[in-house]
Homo-oligomer: A and B are copies of this chain.
Amino acid sequence: MPATTREKLADAALRRFYRDGFRNVGIDQVLADVGISKTAFYKHFECKEDLVLLGLERHDVEAQQLFDRVTREVGGPTALGRLHALIDVVEQIIGDEEFRGCVFVNVAIEFPLPHDPAHVAAANSKRAIEKLVCDLATEAGADDPAALAHELCLIMEGAYITRSVGCEGDTIAAARRLARLAIESRCGGRPA
């Protein structure tokens, strides 16, 4: 899919940054991956950090597509089903051999200064996903869609972290159980 050199660079860079950390990856490694010279690189990007920006932008699109696709495939036609399927999205993401935490969160933490463009971009992507969840929650008739979305996103974040930083224990089972409790308690689980 990466058509232009610019995109190839951003994708290769984000892969490495994600795996080894921004700090631990030299630009030269990325250049070698793509097979380009430093001079050429700096005609495409102003600085190393800009690789992250474009990388995130592209990853953001992919992530939202993944959410959309998996919730539809697993959750079926109803919004309620799709809400439950959020955990299947999570399961797919953390099931990856190379999973190392949520890309957005990692970037937000590696660029902690609040006004850092990379930090802002990562935070925006997170918010966009919460928005998607909120729309689903609304459609599912939750009593307080924003609150349910916040709860479900909290669970997803928790699952990513719990899985990526030294856990034993069945994270997916925990996440699914919590999500079920949250959804049932907000979506007419008690149709009085």
The interface of chain A, by Cβ under 8 A from chain B, is 19-24, 100-101, 104-106, 108-113, 120, 122-124, 126-127, 130, 146-147, 149-151, 153-162, 164-167, 169-171, 173-175, 177-178, 181-182, 185
CB–CB B174/A154 < 8 A: yes
CB–CB A130/B167 < 8 A: yes
Query: Closest Cβ of chain B: how far from A174's Cβ, in Å?
Result: 5
A153 and B22 alpha carbons, distance in the complex (Å): 27
CB neighbours (8 Å) of A109 from chain B are: 21, 101, 105-106, 109-110, 165
A169 and B108 alpha carbons, distance in the complex (Å): 19
A157 and B122 alpha carbons, distance in the complex (Å): 18
CB–CB A111/B21 < 8 A: yes
The contact of A185 among B104, B155, B166, B181, by CB within 8 Å, is: B181
A109 and B112 alpha carbons, distance in the complex (Å): 12
CB–CB A178/B182 < 8 A: yes
Kindly list 16 other residue pairs between chains A and B, CB separation below 8 angstroms, not including A22-B23, A150-B170, A154-B161.
A21-B109, A21-B111, A101-B112, A105-B109, A105-B161, A109-B109, A109-B110, A122-B165, A123-B165, A124-B166, A126-B167, A130-B167, A153-B158, A156-B158, A157-B161, A158-B159
A108 and B159 alpha carbons, distance in the complex (Å): 15
CB neighbours (8 Å) of A124 from chain B are: 166
Which chain B residue shows the least CB distance to A123? B166
CB–CB A162/B166 < 8 A: no
Known: A105-B109, A108-B165, A161-B105. A171 touches B154 (CB 8 A): yes
Query: Closest Cβ of chain B: how far from A45's Cβ, in Å?
Result: 18
CB–CB B166/A127 < 8 A: yes
The contact of A146 among B123, B153, B169, by CB within 8 Å, is: B169
CB neighbours (8 Å) of A160 from chain B are: 161
